[in-house]
Amino acid sequence: MRLTLAFAAILAVAGPDATAQQRPDFSGDWILVPEAGKPSDQLAIGTRARLVHKTNELALEMTSFLLAKGTIEDSNEFDLPKRYVLDGVEHQMPGDRPTTIYAADQTVRGVLMPRWPMPGRYRATWTGDKLVLFSRDEVPVVSNGSMRWVAATIWTGFSYAKDGTLVVERLDLREPETSPRQQPAPLTVRSVYRKVK
């Protein structure tokens, strides 16, 4: 009983920052380890990511993707950083505008799409040593050479593996469609990244 009271007193004196100090720092430039993720053709946060992690904020830069001739491919170029306030409260995330990319002969090569082209809402908080982002967004779906936007609820978790790699898990739950199309199944992605600096 005395030990329990003493431990409680230590926590009270240390305050809430004692827990925060034990949490991992995800700052760094990260590159995908393709063979470690599943499924291999899906990426949680692109092929590269840059994270600047402060006590109450996570700034995330991801590679945008190129939409060209009805296909989507990773551009390997960073889009603008998304800043998440780590307080568990719902916040608005602004969207970014697509950019038209031209070839040398001035024909349209494709459209550079940011990963968050539409405004959305999010919450960011901790679950143990895992940082969790819970967001409501619109995601692009390419079908038969055309692209459409589908509303989705997305859960994203950041954590470290024992070998020091960054594990990013993502669960996409797309809203049911009001059409005879086959309804989308939940999409689960687990990508692994190694630190390059």
Q: Please give the residue range of the domain that contains residue 68.
A: 24-195
- Counting the structural domains of the chain, the total is 1
pLDDT value of residue 131: 97
Residue 75: inside a domain: yes
Question: Could you tell me if residue 152 is inside a domain?
Answer: yes
pLDDT in tens, 157-185: 999 999 999 999 999 888 776 666 666 77
Helix (H, G, I), strand (E, B) or coil at 41: coil
List, for residues 112-171, the tens digit of each pLDDT value.
776 665 678 999 999 999 999 999 877 766 666 666 677 889 999 999 999 999 999 999
Phi, psi of 18, rounded to the nearest 5 degrees: -60, -40
Identify the pLDDT of residue 180. Answer: 67
Considering the domain boundaries, does residue 9 fall inside one?
A: no
Asked if 137 contacts 152 with a C-beta cutoff of 8 angstroms, the reply is: yes
Confidence band, pLDDT 50/70/90 cuts, at residue 6: very low
User: Phi first, then psi: what are they for 48, rounded to 5°?
Assistant: -135, 155
> Is 14 among the domain residues?
no
Q: Where are the alpha helices (DSSP H) in the chain?
A: 2-14, 17-22
Whether 162 maps to a domain, the answer reads: yes
Q: What is the CATH number of the domain that holds 188?
A: 2.40.128.20
Please indicate, yes or no, if residue 117 is contained in any of the structural domains. Answer: yes
Does a structural domain hold residue 84? yes
Q: Answer whether residue 42 is part of any domain.
A: yes
